[in-house]
Amino acid sequence: MRTLFPVETTVRVDENCRLWVQSRGDEHAVPVLLVMGANTSGLGWPERFVDELAERYRVVRYDHRDTGRSSRVFDEHPYAIRDLATDAVAVLDALDIERAHVVGMSMGGVLVQLLLLDHPHRLRSATLFGSAALGAQLAGGSEEGDGLPGVDPRLLAMWERIFEQRSPEEELAWRVEHWRLLNGDVLEFDPDWFRELERRIMAHSGTHRESWAHASADTGGLDRGDELIGVTTPTLVIEAPEDPVAPPPHAEYLARALGGAKRVEIPGMGHALGEPVLGPLVSTIRRHVEEVEAERRG
């Protein structure tokens, strides 16, 4: 049976937590799991991006806890960032996916690093971008200890206001401005495109109120950068030279920490998935997946 349209399901992690999951593409195709960044619904992966990958693969995206349609549990049942990595394994288990190519953005890249260390048998390959290495800066480290550049001060100023209560229109405007800063200063920024993205996310979530649970979650257990050198899973690190969250040389540092990881730059890319980067990003991920699959076939 070929399933080319989106299929939605709910995955039960435990008695308190359920995750919204969507699968798109041929269910018998090679699986690709998308792991989004902090406080962001799975709909943060743009439709065009998912559709183009789904032309060749079975693409799975999901809402982290406290985002989208997944359970809002943090206030009563606090969890650690590392628990979000085990949620990704629960998604694979529920869909009977033994091994997947896993793509992680931002915090999602941190979670994929944990999967590389703790569940390597579940990964065919890994692709990371917009992410710090475990033990560095936002991934369980400190700005003083690793010598890497920190987050753009303009973003830090915005993040000081993340817990403010805003009306729906104020919240929409805040999110669009946030994306503008994340986009970087090189590639064209289309506010209408990101406004529509956020309207879809709000409609999907059923609320305009953003949960910032991941900003409060325990970061313990992330200081494992020294273990990355032992990773043998084929891994690609995508360099986003205009990334204001994990600016250069974060990608180079991460690729070195992973030993045999490849590094490819997408010129002008920041920390946002706007239209100008979608084509190059899909092509880069496809090329990595196809190379790994060709090697597996021998």
Q: Is 106 a catalytic site residue?
A: yes
Pair of tokens at residue 95: 């869909």
* Beta-sheet pairing, 262-265 with 31-35: unpaired
92's tokens: 């694979």
User: b/e per residue, 280-291, with b = 16+ CB within 10 A?
Assistant: bbbebbbebbee
The answer to whether the bond into 31 is cis (omega within 30° of 0) is no
Q: Establish how many alpha carbons lie within 13 A of residue 84's alpha carbon, considering only the half-sphere containing its beta carbon.
A: 35
Q: Which of 208, 211, 243, 288 is catalytic?
A: 243
The CA distances from residue 147 to 249, 257, 270, in Å, are 10, 14, 21
Of 64, 208, 250, 271, which is the active-site residue? 271
φ, ψ dihedrals at 265, nearest 5°: -95, 140
**Residue 7: Cβ within 10 Å count:** 15
Please indicate whether residue 211 is annotated as part of the active site: no
What residue type is assigned to position 225 of the chain?
G
H/E stretch holding 10? strand 7-12
Residue from 71, 106, 125, 205 carrying the catalytic annotation: 106
User: Partners of 8 in the beta sheet?
Assistant: 22
185 is catalytic: no
The catalytic residues are 106, 243, 271
